[in-house]
């Protein structure tokens, strides 16, 4: 349910981009992301920091896109969000307190070196996504960038999540019954 709620603003952005253009889609993205936060609060009585950061970036860069009537600001939003995620993960890596462990460590136990590898892998993943977003945003038509933003980055994230899950599975403690 939570993942569905998080996907709705992106889906609305995509549909409105295809039917009404980047500026209507951007305005809708700002509004639906704000509504998403409100709905999340009412359902879960909690809002994650990542959701607040994402909303702030949507509001700032979406607002600049609308006020200045320049689509480049909304294109930068994706890269800046990924850059912030990568920076947070990198800092946690440097101080040997992997952010990934703090998010998933309650559900599973893994050796610290495995958490550090996963944390570093996600840091690199976000950096690569940020760079690829910039390349596509400023070297291809707007339609291609929107398709990539909505479907390409989602697909890459899902694939990387599955790969991470496979890596985690290999390192989960084995019970005595598993031989």
> What tens digit of pLDDT does each residue of 12-31 get?
999 999 999 999 999 999 99
Taking residues 136-163, what's their average pLDDT? 96
| Mean per-residue pLDDT of the chain | 92
Tell me the C-alpha distance between 109 and 47, whole Å. 25
Indicate the Cα dihedral angle 97, 109, 107, 94, nearest 10°. Answer: 10
43 vs 105: which has the higher pLDDT: 43
Ranges 27-31, 78-82, 91-95, 102-106: which has the least confidence: 102-106
Of 107, 108, 124, nearest to 160 by C-alpha is 124
What is the reported pLDDT for 24? 98
Tens digit of pLDDT for each residue in 41-68?
A: 998 898 888 889 889 999 999 999 999 9
């Amino acid at each position: 349910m939570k993942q569905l709620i998080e996907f709705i603003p992106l889906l609305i952005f995509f549909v409105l981009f295809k039917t009404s253009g980047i500026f209507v889609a951007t305005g809708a993205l700002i509004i639906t992301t704000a509504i998403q936060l409100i709905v999340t609060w009412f359902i879960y009585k909690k809002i994650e920091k990542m959701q607040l950061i994402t909303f702030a970036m949507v509001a700032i860069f979406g607002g600049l896109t609308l006020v200045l009537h320049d689509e480049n600001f909304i294109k930068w939003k994706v890269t800046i969000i990924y850059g912030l995620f990568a920076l947070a993960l990198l800092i946690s890596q440097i101080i040997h307190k992997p952010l990934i462990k703090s998010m998933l460590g309650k559900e599973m136990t893994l050796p610290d070196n495995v958490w550090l590898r996963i944390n570093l892998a996600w840091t690199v993943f976000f950096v690569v996504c940020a760079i690829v977003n910039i390349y596509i945003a400023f070297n291809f038509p707007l339609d291609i960038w929107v398709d990539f933003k909505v479907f390409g980055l989602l697909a890459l994230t899902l694939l990387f999540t599955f790969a991470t899950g496979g890596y985690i599975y290999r390192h989960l403690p084995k019970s005595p019954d598993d031989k």
